[in-house]
């Protein structure tokens, strides 16, 4: 065999097209440096076993010989010799700028094959509801806010804190919610959560601990929230929703969760008369109302409707979130609770996870205080208003027998048609043939019985550049069944 001399490759920390990495990666090896076997042979054998077992994956970068020698307490020549043997055997390779790495051809898969990584969205077009256009996320403003926070935040702010959340965010939210949504509150009555799912779970658990056995929910409504309530030990009672929103006469128990601004999924608002009736029910039943104001910022008409909470701050728990305004991945929501609920919700939050992510809270607080959050909302509002109008125009052109149930607000709209028209499943099948992801209204009902067919269109979901094509795909599907 040709004599080979191992030369330490220059490790720059990153290669072209990759993210920067640490110059000295940690490496765990099973070694017995007290045996009679040569240390170089032991090191080579340990590396070989790790590669063949699949613990060192293809492309894994090893420490430099100098770093490995220091970490293992051996001579550098020992590491050089071990690397030399494995390069000769075809287990490792060296390349200028990227260090010593495991060769893909020699690495074997682990015993238990990991689940294959599935495509996040196999659909060509996507109109499923529940998400904003993530390409509108204010990256520049977020970066600037992050830089300001990191430059000014004291170290102690990154430790364990108040379960209610960072005071910077609670003060900023008290101001924002009061002026933009008409919410009556104080920072001491705001609790920050990891999304509305956690917020609802905390509320349901507190209710269960205080002897409440059931919560009224809208029908149709979001199935996941029914599951959250049941997991906390409560039963759910379905309450009918019509063109004026939830029907208060159907309420039962001492708790209800409602979406009064833009009912999910029908999209109708709770009428003024029913708002009053809902509050009256809560007073008479000594009940609490959970107001899910998930997309209340997106109202497109001249008259904006404020939060229900202002009508009865002592009866309504107000819930808001960044999942529709920024992105679901931020995982940030807030509860505005009545005074006698503060301690109970705070204790439940402390037990659940102590507190939400401090840095994210302070970044969102900076966005609110700087005005960047309001500017982002206005930009998104203009974009979604236009999309909503275009959806209405297409529906009128290709499916005049169907109609939009929703008001001119929110991030989704429901399309309904007569039971004499096409079956909901037929429309969904046609959508699949177009590689168009749609949500049928049928999956949202919690009660059995005949329900009108329909679709729930998340017109905010497609990225801006794909909206026109997605709308054209929907037009083809509807045209096929309604012409």
pLDDT in tens, 236-290: 999 999 999 999 999 999 999 999 999 999 999 999 999 999 999 999 999 999 9
d(CA 242, CA 236): 19
Q: Taking all residues of the chain, what is their mean pLDDT, rounded to a whole number? A: 91
Q: pLDDT at position 145, please?
A: 98
The listed CATH number (3.10.129.10, 3.30.1360.30, 3.90.1150.10, 3.40.50.720) that belongs to domain 126-130+380-482: 3.90.1150.10
Q: pLDDT at position 358, please?
A: 95
How many other CB atoms sit within 10 Å of the CB of residue 403?
A: 16
d(CA 17, CA 43): 31
- Kindly indicate the confidence band of residue 13, based on its pLDDT and cuts at 50, 70 and 90: very low
The residue among 9 and 317 whose pLDDT is bigger is 317
Q: pLDDT at position 12, please?
A: 52
Q: Beginning with the edge strand found earlier in the chain, give each strand of the sheet holding 413-416 in spatial order.
A: 403-404, 413-416, 454-457, 439-440
Which residues of the chain does CATH 3.40.640.10 include? 136-370
Q: What is the pLDDT of residues 284-329, one digit of tens each?
A: 999 999 999 999 999 998 888 999 999 999 999 999 999 999 999 9
Residue 1 confidence (pLDDT) above 70: no
Which residues of the chain does CATH 1.10.10.10 include? 1-117
User: Coil, helix or strand for 186?
Assistant: coil
Residue 189 confidence (pLDDT) above 90: yes
Fold of the domain built from segment(s) 136-370:
3.40.640
Q: Beginning with the edge strand found earlier in the chain, give each strand of the sheet holding 214-219 in spatial order.
A: 190-193, 333-336, 316-321, 288-292, 255-258, 214-219, 235-242, 245-246
Residue 95 confidence (pLDDT) above 80: no
Region of 83 on the Ramachandran plot (φ > 0 left; ψ -120 to 50 alpha; else beta): alpha
Which residues of the chain does CATH 3.90.1150.10 include? 126-130+380-482
The residue among 231 and 448 whose pLDDT is bigger is 231
- Kindly indicate the confidence band of residue 36, based on its pLDDT and cuts at 50, 70 and 90: low
Q: pLDDT at position 450, please?
A: 83
Share of the chain above pLDDT 90, in %: 75
Fold of the domain built from segment(s) 1-117:
Arc Repressor Mutant, subunit A (1.10.10)
Q: pLDDT at position 25, please?
A: 82
Q: pLDDT at position 7, please?
A: 64
Q: pLDDT at position 8, please?
A: 65
DSSP 275: H
CB of 200 closer than 8 Å to CB of 222: no
- Kindly indicate the confidence band of residue 21, based on its pLDDT and cuts at 50, 70 and 90: very low
What's the 3-state SS for 389-429? HHHHHHHHHHCCCCEECCCCECCCEEEECCCCCCCHHHHHH
Q: pLDDT at position 83, please?
A: 92
């Amino acid at each position: 065999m040709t004599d080979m001399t191992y030369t330490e490759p220059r490790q720059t920390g990153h290669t072209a097209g990759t993210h920067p990495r640490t110059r000295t990666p940690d490496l765990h090896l099973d070694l017995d440096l007290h045996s009679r076997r040569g240390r170089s042979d032991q090191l080579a054998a340990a590396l070989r076993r790790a590669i063949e077992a699949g613990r060192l994956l293809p492309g894994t970068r090893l420490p430099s010989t100098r770093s490995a020698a220091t970490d293992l307490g051996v001579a550098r020549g020992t590491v050089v010799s071990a690397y030399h043997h494995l390069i000769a055997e075809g287990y490792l390779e060296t390349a200028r700028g990227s260090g010593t790495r495991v060769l893909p051809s020699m690495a074997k898969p682990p015993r238990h094959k990991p689940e294959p990584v599935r495509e996040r969205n196999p659909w060509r077009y996507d109109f499923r509801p529940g998400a904003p256009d993530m390409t509108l996320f204010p990256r520049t403003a977020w970066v600037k806010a992050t830089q300001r926070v990191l430059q000014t935040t004291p170290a102690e702010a990154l430790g364990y804190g108040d379960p209610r959340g960072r005071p910077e965010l609670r003060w900023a939210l008290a101001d924002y919610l009061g002026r933009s949504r008409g919410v009556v509150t104080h920072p001491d009555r705001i609790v920050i959560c990891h999304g509305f799912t956690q917020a609802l779970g905390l509320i349901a658990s507190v209710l269960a601990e205080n002897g409440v056995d059931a919560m009224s929910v809208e029908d149709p409504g979001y199935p996941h929230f029914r599951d959250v309530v049941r997991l906390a030990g409560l039963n759910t009672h379905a309450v009918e929703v019509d063109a004026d929103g939830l029907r208060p006469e159907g309420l039962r128990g001492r708790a209800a969760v409602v979406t009064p601004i833009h009912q999910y999924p029908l999209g109708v608002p709770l009428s003024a008369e029913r708002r009053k009736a809902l509050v009256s029910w809560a007073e008479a039943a000594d009940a609490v109302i959970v107001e899910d104001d998930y997309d209340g910022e997106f109202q497109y008409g001249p008259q904006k409707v404020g939060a229900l909470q202002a009508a009865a701050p002592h009866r309504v728990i107000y819930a808001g979130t960044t999942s529709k305004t920024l992105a679901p991945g931020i995982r940030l929501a807030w509860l505005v609770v009545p005074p006698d609920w503060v301690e109970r919700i705070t204790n439940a939050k402390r037990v659940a996870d102590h507190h939400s992510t401090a840095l994210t809270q302070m970044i969102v607080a900076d966005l609110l205080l700087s005005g960047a959050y309001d500017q982002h909302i206005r930009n998104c509002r203009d974009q979604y208003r236009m999309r909503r109008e275009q959806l209405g125009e297409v529906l009128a052109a290709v499916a005049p027998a169907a109609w939009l149930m929703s008001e001119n607000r929110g991030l989704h709209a429901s399309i309904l048609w007569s039971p004499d028209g096409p079956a909901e499943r037929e429309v969904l099948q046609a959508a699949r043939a177009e590689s168009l992801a749609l949500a049928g209204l049928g999956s949202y009902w919690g009660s059995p019985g005949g329900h009108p067919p329909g679709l729930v269109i998340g017109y905010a979901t497609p990225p801006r550049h794909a909206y026109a094509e997605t709308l054209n795909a929907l037009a083809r599907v509807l045209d096929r069944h309604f012409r």
